[in-house]
Structure 1
Amino acid sequence: MSNDSQTQSLAFGLLWPELNDGLHYTDVVPPSGSELTLIEFYSSMYKNSAPLQGWLQRIQNGQISVDGRVVQDPNAILSVGSELVYHRLPWKEPDAPHVLEVLYEDDDMIALNKPSGLQVLPGGLFQQRTVLRQLYWRVRKQNSSLASQESHPVPVHRLGRGTSGILLCAKTKVAKTCLAAYFSDGTSLVGANRKAKRSGTRKISKIYRALVTGILGEDKVVINQPIGIVRYPGVAKGLYVASPSGKPALSKVEVLERDGQQNRTLVQVEIESGRPHQIRIHLSFMGHPLLGDPLYIAGGQPRRFDSEFVDESYAQDGGYQRPTNPVPGDCGYYLHAHQLVLSHPTKNEMIKITAPLPSILKTRDELNSSRESISISSAN
């Protein structure tokens, strides 16, 4: 097994600009949109983006064009086949870290140590301040050729914005296909025949560290609670929660250290499936939410569930105000993707990648070893 032959001890990241570049959303009027007015089209098609008054503001502000011409009349009648473009104005995204540490890199893939607070892919308020954008800027800086810019690395799995640790990215199409298959195969095997899962077909293993509230009684726990989606304000595609009718998910939890004085437990979690927010949901489902998790509480459900309430006031850009209830991207919890073992996508070898642990997720012995190491280095 190899874990350091191509590892580079370096970090990269450019400072975020004050404002992002804004966004352009394009639509073509379908037959069902014939004779609709401009305001009717947007307020019905994209009611999750902004309330009626917000869309009126955007139209009157000159942010929408029809067939290349800015139209500020909300009552303009649309024709089938017309191209509509909504320009979302540049905005200042919330603060986010910008430095990424390279844990491993070769011609096929790159593994990064993602800091908590940095989103992986564009979404919501974060359209530029993402891992994906930093990867693009890195390639552009290394090589200005068009071909290089078009083939910048892409993440092949998810890590929540508040989760730190190993993020695996593919640098080639072959690697992307192979690595994505590793992750999807692990998830599908959980819902398939258990004998097939034990046949040695797994090509990837993911181990996390987490700090949970309360004291776990058992040293080892297997959680196979299904995860599904429910409607939730502020999350357009719905919120993932523990649900009997959801999709299969499997997590193996092992206690590393109990802290009775502070009523918390340090655990190691190996996930054999990759459902969104799986560890947060599973640990909260068993009555031990992640310490500091603003969203999930015991039972694997959200802290607040005012699903029928919608704030019709709108922000400066016309969109809805940020939800007052917690949403999945909120940070504050302690979860770290610590180790990843995988079969290399093109080489006949197993790769082990480790992301250094934050101090709060180390055992007492690990903390003491770190201090001893520092003391020895200082003495030398």
Structure 2
Amino acid sequence: MSEKAELAAVMAYFGVSWPELNEGLTYHDIVRPTDAGLTLIEFYFRKYKNSAPLQGWLQRIQNKQITIDGKVAILPDTELRAGAELVYHRLPWREPDAPYLLEVLFEDDYLIVVNKPSGLQVLPGGLYQQRSVLTQLQWHACKPTTTSSGCQKTHPVPVHRLGRGTSGILLCAKTKLCKSRLAAYFAEGTSVVEDKCTNSECNTMRKICKIYRALVSGVMDMDEVVIKQPIGTIKYPGVAKGLYVASPSGKPALSSVRVLERDSENNCTLVQVEIQSGRPHQIRIHLSFIGYPLIGDPLYVSGGQPKCFHPELMDESFEKDGGYQRPENPVPGDCGYNLHAHQIGLIHPITNEHLFQLSFKHEKNAKRASQTPASMR
């Protein structure tokens, strides 16, 4: 890492404790001509079937949570006209517990790199609409002390994702230019893999390198292995867009794995993984595919498949706001596995400096922030 980057590396924390309830959500829809003539209940049940059962949408209408052109809708069989504006107000709720403190590993005028603790979601989604890294970044940028107007001119946003249960280094852009260039870095890396280049070719052509540490079940016999198993999706209860799994018909993915430490007594192995593509849950899927699933992974087992394949029957039960209850089967956001984004190397998207070996250097703070074993540092 350059001397300038070393000087910019700071050990600081920011974060605001979460309020008991979030602010709820508001969803807007404009009725298309193809949907004209549908009743209100038909519209919502057809379009948002994964959000709530029929009885749940009826409950939301009865709760006066839906308006048509600004007026509260009280009749589920109200016929809709093309161009009508529908607004559904989701009631505030208490989101599941999540950490909120973020450690700053590096910051300049364009980038802020943070240590994300395990248990904190990167972007809003599902039950976590407020408790996310993005929300803390937004609150941090709008501290009253930053400028006389109340908010910084920059609005930092994460440029890639880490699973909710994954801890470690997360890149966030503070300007639109920085965000677009970092996004291009990731896209270029994935396109190289899709062209089926060799591992060495991938390394020379990429402008960003992410290295993880994982604790897997079993004592791995090989010292190094390259996994090229494609990753696709299958239908899975509780996951609207499908669950990512090892699939011959999926998209290309490449992970380079190196053994760091074997523990025969506890039947586990500490490995380092460099990913050449960024498929969702890639490391969890790839390591389980070769027979070494992450210790504590509630979802993926050997073969890169989920523990539960049989579809779950919906019992039409729902929460007080009408939405489906959480499925009983494990889902991708569940925590418990041991995965840490340990190191990143990149060409600075604005200054073109080589920021190599940007990694954890504060052992005590890393251990407190990440909930992963000390050996994974």
TM-score range, shorter chain: over 0.9
Show the counterpart of 2:104: 102
- 1:349 corresponds, among 345, 350, 353, to 353
- 1:169 corresponds, among 159, 172, 175, to 172
> Could you tell me how far apart the structure 2 residues matched to 1:145 and 1:189 are?
46
3-state SS in 1 of match to 2:130: coil
- 1:59 corresponds, among 52, 61, 81, to 61
Contact 1:209 1:361 in 2 (8 A): no
* 2:136 matches 1:123: no
3-state SS in 2 of match to 1:113: strand
> Could you tell me how far apart the structure 1 residues matched to 2:14 and 2:330 are?
31
Q: Which amino acid is the alignment partner of residue 161 of structure 2?
A: R
Show the counterpart of 1:190: 193
Contact 2:189 2:202 in 1 (8 A): no
3-state SS in 2 of match to 1:180: helix
Shift of 1:151: 3.4
Show the counterpart of 1:47: 49
* 2:238 matches 1:225: no
> Could you tell me how far apart the structure 1 residues matched to 2:118 and 2:227 are?
25
Give the alignment of 1:84-163 within 5 angstroms.
84-141=86-143, 142-143=145-146, 148=151, 151-163=154-166
Shift of 1:34: 1.5
Structure 1 stretches of 4+ moved >6 Å: none
3-state SS in 2 of match to 1:256: strand
> Could you tell me how far apart the structure 1 residues matched to 2:224 and 2:237 are?
35
- 2:341 corresponds, among 330, 337, 340, to 337
Deviations 1:215-252 (A, max 9, x none): 11100010000000111110111111000000000001
> Could you tell me how far apart the structure 1 residues matched to 2:33 and 2:349 are?
46
Shift of 1:311: 3.3
Q: Percent identity?
A: 64
> Could you tell me how far apart the structure 2 residues matched to 1:179 and 1:95 are?
31
Contact 1:225 1:244 in 2 (8 A): yes
Aligned residues: 364
- Go from structure 1 to structure 2 and tell me whether the alpha carbon gap of 1:162 and 1:199 turns closer, same or farther (over 3 Å shift): closer
Shift of 1:144: 5.2
Show the counterpart of 1:82: 84
* 2:373 matches 1:360: yes
Q: Which amino acid is the alignment partner of residue 136 of structure 1?
A: Q
> Could you tell me how far apart the structure 2 residues matched to 1:179 and 1:324 are?
37
3-state SS in 2 of match to 1:24: strand
Shift of 1:74: 0.8
> Could you tell me how far apart the structure 1 residues matched to 2:20 and 2:203 are?
52
- 1:10 corresponds, among 9, 12, 15, to 12
Shift of 1:148: 4.3
Shift of 1:5: 2.1
Q: Which amino acid is the alignment partner of residue 281 of structure 1?
A: I
Shift of 1:304: 0.8
**TM-score between both structures, scaled by the size of structure 2:** 0.93
Shift of 1:185: 1.0
**TM-score between both structures, scaled by the size of structure 1:** 0.92
- 2:302 corresponds, among 295, 298, 323, to 298
**Structure 1: gaps of 5 or more residues:** 367-380
Deviations 1:62-107 (A, max 9, x none): 0000000001111111111100000000000000000000000000
> Could you tell me how far apart the structure 1 residues matched to 2:67 and 2:123 are?
27
Contact 1:210 1:269 in 2 (8 A): yes
3-state SS in 1 of match to 2:75: coil
Show the counterpart of 1:273: 277
Shift of 1:309: 2.6
Question: What is the RMSD computed on CA atoms of the aligned residues?
Answer: 1.7
